[in-house]
Amino acid sequence: MSVAGLRKAAHETVAGLPREFWWLWTSTLVNRLGAFIATFMALYLTLDRGYSASYAGLVASLHGLGGVVSSLGAGVMTDRLGRRPTMLIAQLSTAASVAVLGFMVHPVAIAGVAFVVGMASNASRPAVQAMMADIVPPEDRVRAFSLNYWAINLGFAVSSAGAGFIAEYSYLAGFMGEAALTLLCAVVVFLKVPESRPEAEPLVAGTSAPDEVRLTTVLRDGRYMGVVGLSFLVALIFQQGYVGLPVAMGADGLSSSDFGTAIAVNGVLIVALQIPVTRFIHHRDPRLLLILSSLVAGYGFGLTAFAGSVGVYALTVCVWTLAEIVNAPTQTGIVVQLSPAHGRGRYQGVYTMSWSVAALVAPLMSGFVIDHYGAAWLWGTCAVLGTVAAFGYWLLMRNLSLPEPAVVTTTAPVAPVTVVAPAVPVASTVPVAPAVPVASTERAGAEPAV
């Protein structure tokens, strides 16, 4: 492609999005640039503090449990207090708790504070997703969520590279660095990101107020909970790249550096391909994209059963990474499509919880299957889960009407938007479990994280 073609493609990818979105995007990038703990926590606990791998795994589980607990509460806060206050509370709490964690020495204290860090760091996700749905027009949301997902992965890639150098100097510097960047993220939100929660419209004579959305309302929404359940299955598949894959590669006699080489392909491809793939899928039917990405994810991991060398393992990573690139923004877009504007926080909280629960279940699933049946059965299970998820999406989405995406032709940003009522997409940032036990279950991916 020519330079002019590249410029045109870049313009079409970023043009037309509200200014508020770009400040929110900036806060996401800053936050992920400081994601040091996710990289070095296991080494910190085992090498620096001298604790066992089992204890490090316990800390990781407690961190994940904190995320599960906070998801629903943060969703309620997002609807009641607003998106911006919830983000600020979560980010300030995360900065404070991460800083405190760096000074903890007693194992019980470390585990307890790690649980608090998990709660605080996960609490901003429903608010971020809801705010993106509020400020970005429906036809641009998948594009916006893809850009946010790209920022998450880019930030995480940079922070992962820097974490090793920081850890050699001082683990405490890593904790303080993450706390400082999370605080900076809160400052960006405070200064540049306005509240976007839709205001109640005045009632017209003869009409009634919209029904209040409660958590029970979300749980009784059959189609939405079906999508959440399918999202859980897809999350189980993707997380095997960080819990099942290193075990399988170790069983084949490959080293941790070999795993690092293979899994690095995931981050490189996401950073390199997320934006061009977004342009390709922008006008495609999201129902078909979810079905195909589920199949490619399941069978991409299924191919791992035939791997025996670093090169072949890396090739399988290429396959399921393509599915991740397509699935993450499309999945979160459907979640917003099914969420009423005045209840987005609660709906996003339930969706976020599905990923947090998957982060807890995935290690147990991989450990049980590998120990009792072997790694080949784990990869076969992933293929089955991908097939089930694809069939489930086909059933649930058959009669779902979706807005037609618009072609971006303007070079100027859209005027600031404070309220957008329609219900449609959010990005995700697919939380993905790390390769070794750490005090964070989130990664670049998937996830709608800030």
Task: Classify residue 286: in a domain, yes or no.
Answer: yes
Query: Looking at residue 31, which CATH number applies to its domain?
Result: 1.20.1250.20
Longest dimension (CA), the chain: 73
Question: pLDDT tens digits for the chain (450 residues)?
Answer: 566 665 666 666 677 789 999 999 999 899 888 777 766 777 788 878 888 877 887 887 888 888 888 888 888 899 889 999 999 999 999 999 999 999 999 999 999 999 999 899 888 888 998 899 899 988 888 888 888 888 888 887 787 777 767 877 888 988 999 999 999 999 999 999 999 888 755 544 444 445 577 888 888 888 899 999 999 999 999 989 888 888 888 888 888 778 878 888 888 898 888 888 888 887 788 889 999 999 999 999 999 999 989 999 999 999 999 999 999 888 888 888 888 888 888 898 899 888 888 888 888 888 888 888 999 999 999 999 999 999 999 998 877 665 444 443 333 333 443 333 333 333 333 333 333 333 333 453 445 434
Which H helix or E strand runs over 237? helix 222-243
What is the structure's pLDDT at 417?
39
Q: Name 154's Cβ contacts closer than 8 Å, sequence gap at least 6.
A: 29, 32, 271, 444
Task: Classify residue 210: in a domain, yes or no.
Answer: no
CA separation for the pair 37, 161 (Å, rounded): 12
| pTM strictly above 0.85 | no
Q: Which of 238, 281, 294 is nearest to 444 (CA)?
A: 238
Number of domains in the chain: 1
What is the structure's pLDDT at 9?
62
Task: Classify residue 416: in a domain, yes or no.
Answer: no
Task: Classify residue 6: in a domain, yes or no.
Answer: no
**Count of CB atoms within 10 A of residue 117's CB?**
27
Task: Classify residue 57: in a domain, yes or no.
Answer: yes
CA separation for the pair 406, 420 (Å, rounded): 16
Which CA distances in Å does 19 have to 16, 135, 291?
9, 9, 33
- Domain, as residue range, for 319: 19-196+217-397
Task: Classify residue 296: in a domain, yes or no.
Answer: yes
**Phi and psi of 281, rounded to 5°?**
-90, -5
Rg (CA), the chain: 21
Q: What is the pLDDT of residues 279-337, one digit of tens each?
A: 888 778 888 999 999 999 999 999 999 998 999 999 999 999 999 999 988 888 888 88
DSSP 8-state assignment for residue 85: H
Residue pair 416/18 in contact by the 8 Å Cβ criterion: yes
Task: Classify residue 276: in a domain, yes or no.
Answer: yes
SS3 420: coil
What is the structure's pLDDT at 25?
92
Task: Classify residue 424: in a domain, yes or no.
Answer: no
